Structure 1
Amino acid sequence: MRIAVLGAGAIGAYVGAALHRGGADVHLIARGAHLAALRQHGVRVRSPRGHFVAHAHATDDPRQVGPVDYVFLGLKAHQYAACGPLIEPLLGPDTAVIAAQNGIPWWYFHGLAGHPLEDRRIEAVDPGGAVSAVLPVRRAIGCVVYCSTEIEEPGVIRHLEGTRFSIGEPSGEISARCLAFSDAMVAGGLKCPVEPNLRDDIWIKLMGNVAFNPLSALTRATMVDMCGHPGARDLVAAMMRETVAVAAATGCHPSVSIERRIAGAARVGHHKTSTLQDLEAGKELELEAIIGAVVEIAALTGVPAPTLRNVYAAADLLARTVALAG
């Protein structure tokens, strides 16, 4: 099995290292000092589950790799539309693309036979069809990541917690291509259940991201800070209630209570969300997939979501202001 990891950052390099350890033919697409370290020393994983090194092939030129069976996409959702020149050399007739992204994916309404919004494009994550033109939905395998990693230094991945990568077809089919990829992940020491309805997993994770990520950027607060402030906690709960209502309008029912979701976030402690980390690093904020798409789906389904709309407006203004200043 040939697998390319496009965007071999903290999560991508960790997955690539595990797949390589399990016997897959892995090719890491990276750049800069991180790439140089991967080439010289391999992926050095430091984990409470045991340290290891994986000497997978690493390059900044996908043409050196050619068509593969799977592309594991480790890019941020807002980078998808521009990834055509990088991903095209990796695509053969049957190549599947496993998109490990936060929030609502561009394929969300694809394959929902009989649903009123079947095959409806979500502009927030697929503006004008720009993403689906580069990543045709027939290639898409969804992926919800329950894993925390960080790049400790170039080529060194610190695994903090979690090893589950839930995957699934947009149609809900338990496909041969999903089962084969799951087997490769398990061989590398990761959990990779194939879910018949991955959308429920998407909403469970999104319940937290939709609230904590934009609010952390607006307030510079950590997870425990937001959960411990009475007013902020109420705001988080309101955003989660609206998100659950939007999910229900699409036929999904996240199997976790709001209080349990908030309590779990509080246990994370003084952790900065990825959106806050991006803000502090001067990077583009990943807002559209995390909250913009939820606001759009609320409008499509007629669900009132005033809190989500207001927080999204404030976070979007912040993102635009930072972009202009940069």
Structure 2
Amino acid sequence: MRVAVVGAGAIGAYVGAALHRAGADVHLIARGPHLAAMRQHGVQVLSPRGDFTARVHATDDPAAIGPVDYVFLGLKANSYAACGPLVHPLLHAHTAVVAAQNGIPWWYFHGLRGPYEGRRIESVDPDGAVSAVLPPHRAIGCVVYAATELQGPGVVRHLEGTRFSIGEPDPSGPGADGSKRCQEFSEAMRAGGLKCPVEPDVRNDIWIKLLGNIAFNPLSALSRATMAQICRHDDTRALVTTMMRETLAVAEAVGCRPDVSVERRLAGAERVGEHKTSTLQDLERGKPLELDVLLAAVVELAALTGTRVPKLCAIHAVTDLLARTLRSAA
């Protein structure tokens, strides 16, 4: 099995190192000092489960790799529309793209029976720019429950979690939960020491994880507060609760009923402690804010289905202005 990791940052390099340990033919695509370190020393993984080094092939030239069976996308979702030059040299007729993204994916309505089947979500796939680069039929959904960070060039610190839930966009097509390509990828991930269940409907996992991201990520960017601080402040805790309930209403309106408790999600977030969300970290580093797939897409789905989400709309308005202001300043 040949795998290319496009965007071999903290998560991508961690997955690539695990697949390499399982015996897969893995190629990492990165750049800068991180690429140089991986070329010289391999991927060094520091983990409570045991440290190890994986001597994985790393390059900045996908043409030097050629077609692979799986492309694992470790990029931020707001980079997908521009990733064609990195991805196209890696594709053959049956290459699958495992998109490890937060939020609502560009393929969400692909193969989903009902009134919105095949509909494009403009917030995440403007004018079809992402679908043109990453055709939805190639996609395998992936929800990441692992936490990693780059401690330095070529050095990945694994903090917690090893679960990567995957599943086919079309639950009734050649891909449902018994899909050969999902099973093959799952087996390789598990052989590398990771959890990789094949879900009969990965959209449930998407909404369960989104429930936390949609509230804590934008609020942390606006307040500069950690997850625990947001939870301990009575008014923001109440705001998070309302945002989560509005999100569940949108999920139900598009036909998904995730089995999750708002109270349990809040309690779990508070246990995480003084953690800065990825959006707050991006803000502090001057990087673009990945809020279209987390918040704008849900507001768009609310409008599509006639679902009232006043708190989500208000927070979206303010964070969208923040993102635009940052882009102008840059």
Check whether TM > 0.5: yes
1:50 aligned counterpart, secondary structure: coil
CA distance in structure 1 between the aligned counterparts of 2:94 and 2:201, rounded to whole angstroms: 23
What runs of 5+ residues in structure 1 fail to find an aligned partner?
A: none
CA distance in structure 2 between the aligned counterparts of 1:191 and 1:119, rounded to whole angstroms: 30
2:230 aligned counterpart, secondary structure: helix
Aligned residue number for residue 224 of structure 1 = 228
- What is the percent sequence identity of the aligned residues? 72
CA distance in structure 2 between the aligned counterparts of 1:253 and 1:53, rounded to whole angstroms: 41
CA distance in structure 2 between the aligned counterparts of 1:312 and 1:264, rounded to whole angstroms: 24
Q: Which letter maps to 2:165?
A: S
CA distance in structure 2 between the aligned counterparts of 1:303 and 1:243, rounded to whole angstroms: 10
Aligned residue number for residue 39 of structure 2 = 39
Aligned residue number for residue 314 of structure 2 = 310
Q: Which letter maps to 1:169?
A: E
In the alignment, which of 189, 195, 219 is matched to residue 191 of structure 1?
A: 195
2:108 aligned counterpart, secondary structure: coil
CA distance in structure 2 between the aligned counterparts of 1:86 and 1:257, rounded to whole angstroms: 40
Aligned residue number for residue 299 of structure 1 = 303
1:58-86, CA deviations, whole angstroms, 9 ceiling, x for partnerless residues? Answer: 00000000000000000000000000011
Deviation at 1:131, TM superposition (A): 0.2
CA distance in structure 2 between the aligned counterparts of 1:117 and 1:59, rounded to whole angstroms: 40
Q: Which letter maps to 2:61?
A: D
CA distance in structure 1 between the aligned counterparts of 2:56 and 2:186, rounded to whole angstroms: 19
Aligned residue number for residue 211 of structure 2 = 207
Q: Does 1:146 align with 2:150?
A: no
Deviation at 1:142, TM superposition (A): 0.2
CA distance in structure 2 between the aligned counterparts of 1:249 and 1:197, rounded to whole angstroms: 16
Q: Does 1:260 align with 2:269?
A: no
Q: Does 1:98 align with 2:74?
A: no
Segments of 4+ moved more than 2 angstroms: none
Deviation at 1:253, TM superposition (A): 1.3
CA distance in structure 2 between the aligned counterparts of 1:208 and 1:245, rounded to whole angstroms: 15
Deviation at 1:325, TM superposition (A): 1.4
CA distance in structure 2 between the aligned counterparts of 1:54 and 1:169, rounded to whole angstroms: 29
Aligned residue number for residue 323 of structure 1 = 327
CA distance in structure 2 between the aligned counterparts of 1:256 and 1:222, rounded to whole angstroms: 23
Deviation at 1:324, TM superposition (A): 1.2
Q: Does 1:71 align with 2:71?
A: yes
Deviation at 1:110, TM superposition (A): 0.5
2:280 aligned counterpart, secondary structure: helix
Map 1:94-173 → 2, pairs under 5 A:
94-113=94-113, 115-172=114-171, 173=176
Deviation at 1:272, TM superposition (A): 0.2
Q: Does 1:179 align with 2:183?
A: yes
